[in-house]
Structure 1
Amino acid sequence: MSKLWINEELWIASDTHFGHARILEKEPSRITTMHQEGEEGDVFEWMLRRWNRSITPKEPLLHLGDVAGKEGRAYLGRLHGEKHLLLGNHDLKNLPMLQEAGFLIHTGIKLYIPQEEEILESLKRRFSSKRLKEERYLHAIVADLGMERILFSHLPVFDINPFDHRYESSKRVLEALYEEAHCTLNIHGHTHSYDTPNSFCLNASWEKSEMRPMRLRELLFRFRNKSI
């Protein structure tokens, strides 16, 4: 697949968790923000409206994982955009539902950079081809954009979270990829309202993106200003 869809106008979203009621207990800011806007009712319908006000039906969007809970089917088919999905941990059990809703699923490691073969061979030497194929949570895209070499992933790199032990094996490979590819920025999800302490990580979770999809150029502007 061509990398042409990855440009500054690309929409980015992460950790929407449509239909996942438990997320509203963990992240009550979704309900609070909806009420502040004078709206009531179904939070996920409110999220859907915010999504569709941002994106036209045919614009490309890269979702960085955890799209929906098992009750999310009613929302997914109505989301605007040409929806690319980099799998998150909650997506693995919902693949048929996501594919039926039109999501284009990206799995494993995809490198849109000149050193693709060299980097993949190095990772195979370090971790073995078998391990690269079998890591359940190892899903990433690397692409150059302007002065940045960006690692897009669901899990953040080099973040120590005591509740993420089951992802550690995949994260070790993901972090090696970040280093081998000489990335300068990791745009990730997974952490919701928590930001990692790393200046090279940018959290695109729903709670950190004004509760709407954001253009990649908006995220890059944030990163550049954070780095000053």
Structure 2
Amino acid sequence: MIRRAPSRPRRITRRGRRRLLFALMVAAIGLSVPIWVPHLLATLPAFQISELRVVGTGHIPPEEIRALALTPDASVWDDPARWEERVRAHPMVREATARRESFRTLEIAIVERRPVALVATPELRPVSGDGYLLPLEPSAAPLDLPLDLPIVQGPVETEGGFVADPETRELILALSRMDRTRSDFISLVSEVGLAEEGGYRFLLLPGAGADVVLLPSDEPLRALDRVSIALGQIEDRQVARADARFRGQVVLTRGEER
């Protein structure tokens, strides 16, 4: 029986070490290319943002959005999420979405916080549907602020820029939903507040069909529909109060019965 001599470990020659070192260097450069190439190209004028389009603004000057979104060294290699994050820092912005229109053109779509009511802090301030006090001056005409916003009765306390009282926040949220789906009713509301017996109390403008409308805090939109049906079925326009806080019913009170 012939036995083989144990094999000796091969030694890496000087040429082999050079080849291994060269392969490692090439691999390291290849892995780092996605990191340093964009940073290098971002410094070139050909890769900087040339135009920023702002859409969806009504109260916010587009220049303010551009100033927030773009830094002096902004380039096409930047992450759009960074632009969106900077724009969302604006107190009037509820949502921001950035997308590239072309290689060097960027578009940012804005969803603004819309004023739905005025609250006393003690001075009147517009408030959005999520209860955030907006940095708008009601008397400033260039802002195109609606002058028929309902006034939330009573002074409110704020915390972190938001209305602090949870019940008042729910009331403002209900106003926001009504503004989207029952804008004809909201245009008739002069003041609104929490009713002593529970629910919401709406004081309407003269000629609205009723002086006061009372709605429950749960499902106020359905209750408002019942009020509209009830007022449409009567010829008497001297209704002092329409109370829809009773399940499935609306109680109408004449002016002299008040």
- What TM bracket, shorter-length normalisation? under 0.3
Which structure ranks higher in relative contact order (CA pairs < 8 Å, sequence separation ≥ 6)?
1
Q: Whose helix fraction is larger, Structure 1's or Structure 2's?
A: 1
Q: State which structure, 1 or 2, has the greater radius of gyration over its C-alpha atoms.
A: 2
TM-score by length of 1: 0.22
Task: Give TM-score scaled by structure 2 length.
Answer: 0.20
